[in-house]
């Protein structure tokens, strides 16, 4: 455990952060709590585990006494510019700082945030009939600290000690779906793909002491995979084993404008707070071995291709071999057969 000391006095001192500790000191007998983010526990990243937070769209916090009740008669505020919580008026004793942060709009998830009277209270809850992934990220920190008097050469000083930084950890997990196609033309011809999670029950409530409770009905709507392949959920109620029922439905169209649908099943891995659950699927498709290059608009845009031989394109461009690798005097001629082939 590391020791974090906040000295309260009349002299303004600067803050500094080293590898494993932090010391912040401020005047006017204010206590300053700097907030830090954390990466997903199993995320592959070059970043350190805790980094200065990028801020929150909504933040609530409480300072609780040793009995688990909110402290009254003090002044406290959150500065969104410096990402700091500032408290004034704390007496000697044992305390706990509780913080709930949200990135996004919690109303889109129909979340309800309650006033705390005790650390045993539910702080945030979601509907039992939650039938889709969360749209926001939810963070939580619990930081015990002690306020005491310390003898110094200049006299008694009020000192605050903490065991660790105020690190905001996600109370939700993320599910990433990754589909590896054998044929890039098949991949770019996909549309309307869906994710099905059967019998996936998630917690619905989070208490101020860090515990989860409640359960969803387990009935989720099909999840659209066309524009997003990562999804946030509260942790799974059953953390002990994988379950059947996960499916990814891949729909593709052919150059004849026919639709092919294939379903790929997988074992559902429990979603865990602040961890990434990965679903990796190898997509086998009947069009994989065909020699047809079906260039869809999606495939064209993926390569960031530009337009050539436009009406406003000057000869200095289309006759420049460094910009155009064909002879403008002998352009390539193409024709299309009755069955839509070149």
* Tens of pLDDT, residues 287-328: 888 777 777 777 777 777 777 778 888 888 878 888 777 666
CA distance 217 to 53: 34
Per-residue pLDDT, 86: 92
Could you report how far apart the first and last alpha carbons of the chain are, in Å? 70
Per-residue pLDDT, 45: 56
CA distance 66 to 60: 20
Question: Concatenated DSSP letters for 66-125?
Answer: TTS-B--S-EEEEETTTTEEEEE---SEEEEEEEEEEES-GGGGT-EE---SSTTSEEEE
Higher pLDDT, 61 or 323: 61
Per-residue pLDDT, 277: 92
What confidence tens digit (pLDDT) does each residue in 18-32 have? 333 443 343 456 889
Per-residue pLDDT, 50: 55
| Burial (CB count within 10 angstroms: exposed 0-12, middle 13-18, buried 19+), residue 145 | buried
Higher pLDDT, 257 or 2: 257
Among the listed residues 217, 46, 215, 198, the one whose alpha carbon sits nearest the alpha carbon of residue 129: 217
Please report which residue ranges of 142-296 form alpha helices under DSSP H. Answer: 184-188
How confident is residue 10, by pLDDT bands cut at 50, 70 and 90?
very low
What's the pTM?
0.78
Per-residue pLDDT, 292: 74
Q: Does 49 score more than 60 pLDDT?
A: no
Q: Does 265 score more than 80 pLDDT?
A: yes
Average pLDDT over residues 192-220: 92
How confident is residue 44, by pLDDT bands cut at 50, 70 and 90?
low
CA distance 86 to 61: 11
Contact 139, 241 (CB under 8 A): no
Average pLDDT over residues 209-213: 96
Q: Does 329 score more than 80 pLDDT?
A: no
Q: Does 87 score more than 90 pLDDT?
A: yes
Lowest mean pLDDT among 35-39, 70-74, 95-99: 35-39
């Amino acid at each position: 455990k590391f020791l974090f000391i906040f000295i309260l006095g009349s002299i303004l001192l600067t803050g500094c952060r080293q590898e494993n500790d932090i010391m912040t000191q401020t005047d006017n007998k204010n206590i300053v709590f700097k907030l830090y983010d954390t990466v997903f526990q199993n995320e592959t990243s070059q970043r350190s585990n805790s980094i200065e937070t990028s801020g929150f769209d909504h933040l609530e916090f409480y300072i609780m006494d040793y009995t688990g009740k909110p402290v009254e008669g003090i002044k406290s505020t959150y500065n969104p510019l410096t990402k700091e919580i500032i408290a004034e008026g704390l007496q000697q004793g044992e305390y706990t700082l509780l913080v709930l942060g949200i990135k996004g709009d919690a109303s889109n998830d129909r979340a309800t945030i309650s006033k705390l009277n005790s650390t045993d209270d539910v702080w945030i809850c979601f509907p039992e009939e939650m039938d889709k992934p969360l749209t926001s990220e939810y963070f939580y920190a619990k930081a015990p600290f002690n306020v005491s008097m310390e003898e110094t050469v200049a006299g008694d000083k009020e000192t605050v000690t903490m065991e660790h930084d105020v690190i905001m950890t996600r109370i939700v997990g993320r599910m990433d779906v990754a589909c590896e196609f054998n044929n890039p033309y098949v991949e770019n011809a996909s549309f309307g793909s869906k994710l099905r999670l059967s019998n996936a029950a998630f917690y619905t409530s989070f208490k101020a002491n860090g515990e989860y409770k409640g359960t969803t009905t387990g009935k989720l709507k099909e999840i659209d995979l066309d524009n997003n392949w990562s999804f946030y959920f509260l942790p799974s109620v059953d953390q002990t084993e994988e379950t059947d029922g996960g499916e990814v439905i891949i729909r593709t169209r052919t150059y004849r404008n026919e639709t092919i649908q294939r379903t790929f099943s997988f074992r559902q891995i429990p979603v865990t707070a602040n961890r990434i659950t990965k679903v990796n699927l190898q997509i086998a498709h009947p069009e994989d071995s065909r020699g047809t290059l079906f260039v869809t608009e999606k495939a064209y845009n993926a390569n960031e291709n530009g337009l050539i031989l436009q009406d406003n394109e000057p000869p200095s461009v289309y006759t420049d071999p460094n910009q155009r690798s064909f002879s403008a005097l002998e352009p390539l001629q193409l024709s299309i057969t009755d069955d839509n082939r070149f």
